[in-house]
Amino acid sequence: MSAQPPDRGDSDAPGPESRARSLARLWGAPDPDAAPRRGPKPRHSVEAVVQAAIALADAEGLDALSMRRVAEMLRLSPMSLYTYVPSKAELLDLMLDHVVGEIAEPKAGDGDWRAQVTQLARQRWLIAQRHPWLLQAGMRRPPLGPNVLAKAEAALRAVDGIGLSESEMDQVTALVANYVRGAVRGALDAAEAERESGMTDEEWWSQQGPLLAGLIDPSRYPTTVRIGEAYKAGQIPRGDRESNFEFGLQRVLDGVEAYISGRR
């Protein structure tokens, strides 16, 4: 028979009890089901546990994250770690909210809406580069902790008062968030391909070009061939992932701006 309650352990999927405990812990509320702590003073804080878990996920990916591994990093027994955080699912909630807290919010009234949305989008891009496991953890239904809600408030506040209804404000913030998520996914996939192949995208394309030269009919793919020739001639700059992200973000915001202008 297991010595742990059913919803403890290394499961990533929180049950109803775990969700309630997780929200209470995120907001600093006492856990009504927690037994009084006895014995010596804890050697670590919950914050130290979260920081260790983030460091592990940053270094080795989310698949490497387990309560046992985090306990080893802190020189604790796995059972001792459960006195700090009762399950992996709750630990992951704490990690997500902590990392989202790294996003620097624009001050209320600091610049126009577009500048504020751009700042928040860039910040989301940056934290995803620092913590690639964020996408794997999933932010579609994030833990509703204080940091997550603070950033949601900042995003909505940025587009408040510019002529959008409440529903449209929500849709615009979702549009930008979805763009950032997709751009991050593309960048991380490209980085993974580089690691696996040992070649950059530019090196890979340079290798494919001679192989395709005698196989494709330029009359069938005239536009593709023209763009490829422009690349080889240096007429098109080699864009890095960040510049591609910036280009796409500004075009998304151009569309939002045109939508708002069309309402006036």
For residue 22, the domain's CATH number is 1.10.10.60
Residues 85 and 130 in one domain: no
Residues 27 and 143 in one domain: no
Residue 133 is predicted with a pLDDT of: 94
Residue 233 is predicted with a pLDDT of: 81
Residues 90 and 154 in one domain: no
Residues 89 and 176 in one domain: no
- What total number of domains does the chain contain? 2
> Looking at the predicted structure, is the pLDDT value of residue 17 above 70?
no
> In the chain, pLDDT over 70 holds for what percent of residues?
85
Mean pLDDT of 5-34: 64
Residues 82 and 190 in one domain: no
How does DSSP classify residue 63? Answer: G
The domain spanning residue 121 has which CATH number? 1.10.357.10
The two three-digit tokens of residue 88, written as one number: 């992996």
Task: Give, in order, the Cα–Cα distances in Å from 112 to each of 106, 116, 249.
Answer: 10, 6, 16
Residues 61 and 123 in one domain: no
Comparing C-alpha atoms, which of 180, 199, 70 is closest to residue 129? 180
Q: Report the C-alpha dihedral over residues 176, 180, 186, 189, rounded to 10 degrees.
A: -150
- Containing domain of residue 64, as a range? 16-100
Q: Quick check: is 168 in a domain? A: yes
Q: Which single residue is written with the structure tokens 């989310």?
A: 62
Mean pLDDT of 172-197: 92
How does DSSP classify residue 62? Answer: G
Residues 142 and 91 in one domain: no
Residue 87, SS3 per DSSP:
strand
Q: Which residues make beta-bridge pairs with 9? A: 87
Comparing C-alpha atoms, which of 35, 154, 146 is closest to residue 94? 146
Residues 120 and 72 in one domain: no
Per-residue pLDDT band at 69 (split at 50, 70, 90): very high
Domain boundary among 78, 100, 122: 100
Residues 53 and 135 in one domain: no
Residues 138 and 241 in one domain: yes
Residues 187 and 130 in one domain: yes
Residues 250 and 152 in one domain: yes
Q: Quick check: is 24 in a domain? A: yes
